[in-house]
Structure 1
Amino acid sequence: MSNYNCDCDCDYVRRHYDVPAEIGRRVIANGEPGVIIADRGHYIGVILDSDPKKRIRNYHPTWEMQYGEMAEKLPLKEWEVLTNGMYDWDDVRYMLGDARHYVQRVWAATRSQAKYRAYQELDECFEDATAMLTFKVRAA
């Protein structure tokens, strides 16, 4: 299985804690199986197999953590969300204006969840949740 993201994912955790953390690696986190899905700086973001809502939870990379093989399939998909309704994906592709600066990468199960996750990450930039109506989403 290939890497899911660039080589920099979880790089700090790998170097600082000397563990094989990377997006897509199976782990046993505090006794429960899951998959690393996010680089959270000093922590790793894990989705537990038992979580029906597929929430990313932060775990310390060495506390009660066992690392396994790479997962066959990720519990979430990576999406790109264009958060400025003035632009379209062609503007991003051809680097027109500042369009590429409005692309947020998120992990989610569906397009709708991707819009919401992007909104959550950038909520201080918008007056209210109606901003999501103008978001455009595509698979990363």
Structure 2
Amino acid sequence: MSNYNCDYVRRTYDVPAEIGRRVIANGEPVVIMADRGHYIGVILDSDPKKRIRNYHPTWEMQYGEMAEKLPLKQWEVLANGMYDWDDVRYMLGDARHYVQRVWAATRSQAKYRAYQELAECFNDDATAMLTFKVRAA
């Protein structure tokens, strides 16, 4: 997930895309939750699992106001079991380099999302998630 907040999409397609904006996408109400390069990542209001799906920023889109409440929370995941949050706060060692920001509904989903983004670092060993520490961002 990018931190550019849909800058490329806004400039290229001249649309007001940004994380947290309400949109009617192909007739369905959604909230933009991710910058996906040429696409926007949205969550359909009707999706109980709150999955982020890629949509083209101009295809059947009606941009609205900013959402009052987001369907997911932002979390920080510390993906190295050698460190703790105090190490990050006091910038001890390389601790801050192991913090991954993700959007998820729960702590365990946040761990899994961080693992997905970092999977190549762990040689597809999902047990690495057992050492992840999670806090609300």
Tell whether the structures are fold-level matches, with TM greater than 0.5: yes
Query: What root-mean-square deviation, in Å, do the aligned CA atoms of Structure 1 and Structure 2 show?
Result: 3.0
- TM-score (ref. length: structure 2): 0.93
Q: Per the alignment, in what secondary structure is the counterpart of residue 32 of structure 2? A: strand
Whole-Å separation in 2 of the counterparts to 1:16 and 1:86: 42
C-alpha displacement of 1:116: 0.7
> 1:4: Cα distance to partner?
12
CA deviation string 1:44-102 (max 9, x = no partner): 11000011110000111111111001111000000000000001111111111111111
Question: In 2 relative to 1, CA 104–14 (structure 1 residues): closer, same or farther, beyond 3 Å?
Answer: same
- Counterpart-to-counterpart distance in 1, 2:32 and 2:64: 10
Q: Distance in 2 between matches of 1:66 and 1:2?
A: 23
Structure 1 consecutive aligned stretches of length 4 or more whose deviation exceeds 3 Å? 1-5
Shift of 1:38: 0.7
1:3 and 1:24 in contact (8 A); partners too: no
Aligned to 2:111: 115
Q: Which moved more, 1:50-59 or 1:90-99?
A: 90-99
Q: Which consecutive residues of structure 1, in runs of 5 or more, have no partner in the other structure?
A: none
In the other structure, the counterpart of 1:39 is: 35
Give the conservation status (yes or no) of the 8 Å contact 1:37–1:47: yes
Q: Is the 8 A contact 2:88 2:95 kept in 1?
A: yes
Q: Could you tell me how far 1:16 is from its partner in structure 2? A: 1.2
Alpha-carbon deviation of 1:15?
Answer: 1.1
Aligned length: 136
Identity %: 95
Please list, as runs of the form range in 1=range in 2, the aligned pairs for 1:87-102 lying within 5 A after superposition.
87-102=83-98
